Amino acid sequence: MVVPKTVVKILILIRKCLFLGFLATVVVTWFMRERLDTVDEIHPDAFRQPEQTPPATAVKPFRFTRNDYQYEVTPLYEYTISGLVVRRMDYSWFSIDRSEKIFPLDLCLIWGSNLRYKVHQAKTIRFSQDCRFCWVEWREKLPFSLTEVSNNHLLLSQPDVERTLNRVMIGDQVKLHGKLIKVNARLIGKGGRYDSEAVTWTSSTTRTDTGPGACEVIYVEDAVVLRTANELSRILFRVSCWGMVALALWAFADLFRRF
């Protein structure tokens, strides 16, 4: 079957227009899909303070081996926290020290009065995250509570928990349940240049501390997304990405047909 050249030209033009449209949508929605200022409806659980209680029964440390390290995990407290995700950082691909890889994800959360006053919608507030820290800065009078924000290093217990948290993005509201823990790691294999012989991670057990050691280290046993933000932007982003892939495959198929 021979397709007229005029039809071919029209199809190529349509393909180019669609590709440019998808590309523009991807660029725009990339920035819109994690906006905090659009988060207006807050789940009731996110107003609550974290719940920290001693384990109901004596909990023994548990051990496992991964990445040439032997880990001993000691539960300290039962812990439940709900809040708004203001930053997330995936360390699974670029942790310098291999012992850190058991904490693939850090979530920086705010809750309580910070959400009641909607400080995340302030024009000058900025959240940033790097090197296992979460920072917040603002340049206006703002009732920001430093006791209602935390950076959380997450040790994920099950694949379903990992799948849930891998889908979480900035702007979502989540509820995490598990245990605050202390982790001792000892190198048992051949270490790299930046691998420590031994390292200890101890969770903060108060919300009033700041600086190094103030992060919560959580063994996450359950994770729930309370509310998802910017859903339309995220849908358009995914559709546009797949649309660009489909158009690229269409173009390659046309190219091979010419040979």
Phi, psi of 7 (to 5 degrees): -65, -40
User: pLDDT tens digits for the chain (259 residues)?
Assistant: 555 778 778 878 888 999 999 999 999 999 999 999 999 999 999 999 999 999 877 778 999 998 899 999 999 999 999 999 999 999 887 777 888 889 999 999 999 999 999 999 999 999 999 888 999 999 999 999 999 999 999 999 889 999 999 999 999 999 999 999 999 999 998 877 878 899 999 999 999 998 888 999 999 999 999 999 999 999 999 999 999 999 988 888 877 776 6
Q: How many CB atoms lie within 10 A of CB 158?
A: 12
What's the pTM value of the predicted model, to 2 decimals? 0.89
